[in-house]
Structure 1
Amino acid sequence: MVKPLFLAHGSPMMAIEEDDYTEFLNKLGTKFNPKAIVIFTSHWDNETLTISSIDSVYDTMYDFYGFPEELYQIKYPAKGSTEIASKVEEKLTNQGIKVNKDISRGLDHGAWTILKHLYPKADVPIVQVSINSNLSIQEQIKIGDALKTFGNDDILVIGSGNTVHNLRLVDFDAVSIDSWAEEFDDWLINRIKENDFISLYNYSDNAPYANLAVPTPDHLVPLFIALGSSSLLIPRVIFRSYELGNLSYLCFEF
């Protein structure tokens, strides 16, 4: 059995850097041997949830600009799985959730920068799924809930995003962590550990500095999908750090 994860993908530079976080991801990947991975990425945001459905090797997407040329040379040649994609489609549609399939989109950096460290051999089949950041938190959790039996089948569900993600406020010269970012994460951790869903449903009104931490919900949505896909609801913080003053690398196992 594998448990759902929420993992921070941060800057694309993590694909070529070696630091505490990438070391954590390297070690984390050795703890699981999943049959497949279903990853919800904040960098694919559609009105209708869309499932990548291919058996061939994904193209590696460079959906960013202004980074060193070395980053654009990286390939993550993971294969998809139409079999697992069909299972995702079945689970979601059985819960009344409308989905589409996609047969051409590559892996965006919200997926491959993490997966490159988790499974560097790219030998685990990947099914990438889009999010709809306009849905309520209740609906995001319902999406995850539809997939909660996947862990029993050794299919790893990953939500890829960031709890605090405000690129307008990052500080490239920062030598300390902004207190407001830590306070928002502290609140989120406590509410999740207490299974306080009522507060979480309305985090934008209840959480301190939510307007700063989450200017748009896209990077937070995968957290709630991963949370919903847990069959045990025993959340555990497995990593926490910050970069550029306030960019959060908070990670959960559910």
Structure 2
Amino acid sequence: MKQAVIFVGHGSPMNAIEQNAFTASWQTLGKAIKPKAILMVSAHWFTKGTWTQDEKQPKVINDMYGFPKPLYEVNYQVQGDLGLTNRVRQCLGSTVDINNSWGIDHGAWSVLVHMFPNRDVPVVQLSVDALKAPEAHFEIGRKLSVLRDEGYLIMGSGNIVHNLRKVDFHKENGEAWADAFDLKIRDAIVARDYDKCLNYRQFGDVAELAVPTTDHYDPLLYCLGASLESDTVEIFNEARVMGSLSMTSYIFRDKA
């Protein structure tokens, strides 16, 4: 059975230890899918070059600062998957290499601890190359799409709107500009007009505010590349929070 492609807005690391509407959706989703392993493209492994991992037990990365002690005690330790690593290298050829200096970061585990709390699904991360153009991220996703036929789940984790300088911890919803950009991208995805997602800077000021750096937006492009025209597209966790973060998420599934 062809596996899905998921882009998830991961939001605050505190979601790892909280129970809310977003984490409830992740829990429900984890019960509905049974991947052989996960190829995770996390915003938090933002590199020069494209890298993946081949450790049997990749380290847990606590790449966040100033949060309560219970968050650092999560310790979402999972197994790697050498078979998946090898397939990634076959799909991408000489454009990808091994780098085990990283591990499973909070962009991955803050979501997966709810989706797969038993830690029984192996995870391999693929880095986001900061030097690549949007079209290149999309093309990498396209090359990796064949992994879906082999039982591997392709997942991107970031936030379509992510501007930490504009965060307002007292605001439940999004600012008008955050809403505008998130909705433009939503409409483009639903219409399968991916050129608009690749050329998102055409949206002007709202794009500049929503994507001041590309690290959290780029994982979406890998997912769009790995999706197929024959897929259904479902939107979940559609919301903007704290003024300048989007939790809006997408799952692309084979109609069969």
TM range (shorter): over 0.9
User: Which whole-Å CA distance do the structure 1 matches of 2:173 and 2:118 have between them?
Assistant: 35
Residue pair 1:51, 1:101 contacting (<8 A) in 2 also: yes
2:141 aligned residue: 144
Residue pair 1:237, 1:253 contacting (<8 A) in 2 also: yes
User: Which whole-Å CA distance do the structure 2 matches of 1:163 and 1:121 have between them?
Assistant: 28
User: Which whole-Å CA distance do the structure 1 matches of 2:193 and 2:28 have between them?
Assistant: 31
Residue 3 of structure 1 and its aligned partner are, at CA, apart by: 1.2
- Local SS of the residue matching 2:127: strand
- Deviation string for 1:40-84 (max 9, x for gaps)? 0111112211101112x2322111110001111111111001111
Residue pair 1:184, 1:208 contacting (<8 A) in 2 also: no
Find out whether 1:6 has 2:4 as its counterpart: no
Residue 177 of structure 1 and its aligned partner are, at CA, apart by: 2.6
User: Which whole-Å CA distance do the structure 1 matches of 2:102 and 2:196 have between them?
Assistant: 36
Among candidates 96, 102, 116, match of residue 105 of structure 1: 102
User: Which whole-Å CA distance do the structure 1 matches of 2:162 and 2:120 have between them?
Assistant: 30
- Local SS of the residue matching 2:30: helix
- Deviation string for 1:76-117 (max 9, x for gaps)? 111001111010111111xxx611112343211111111111
2:182 aligned residue: 185
The residue type equivalent to 2:212 in the other structure is P
Show the 5 A alignment for 1:36-115.
Answer: 36-55=37-56, 57-93=57-93, 98-115=95-112
Q: Structure 1: which 5+ residue stretches go unaligned?
A: none
Q: TM-score normalised to the size of structure 1?
A: 0.94
More divergent stretch after superposition (29-38 vs 205-214): 205-214
RMSD: 1.4
- Deviation string for 1:172-198 (max 9, x for gaps)? 111443111111011001111222233
Q: 1:54 to 1:176 in 2, by over 3 A?
A: closer
1:245 aligned residue: 243
Residue pair 2:161, 2:245 contacting (<8 A) in 1 also: yes
2:208 aligned residue: 211
Residue pair 1:184, 1:207 contacting (<8 A) in 2 also: no
The residue type equivalent to 1:228 in the other structure is G
User: Which whole-Å CA distance do the structure 1 matches of 2:195 and 2:84 have between them?
Assistant: 32
- Local SS of the residue matching 2:215: helix
User: Which whole-Å CA distance do the structure 2 matches of 1:21 and 1:175 have between them?
Assistant: 14
Find out whether 1:172 has 2:173 as its counterpart: no
- Local SS of the residue matching 1:168: helix
Residue pair 2:54, 2:80 contacting (<8 A) in 1 also: yes
4+ runs of 1 displaced by more than 3 Å? none
Q: TM-score normalised to the size of structure 2?
A: 0.93
2:199 aligned residue: 202
The residue type equivalent to 1:238 in the other structure is F
Residue 243 of structure 1 and its aligned partner are, at CA, apart by: 2.0
Q: Structure 2: which 5+ residue stretches go unaligned?
A: none
Residue pair 1:187, 1:208 contacting (<8 A) in 2 also: no
- Local SS of the residue matching 1:252: strand
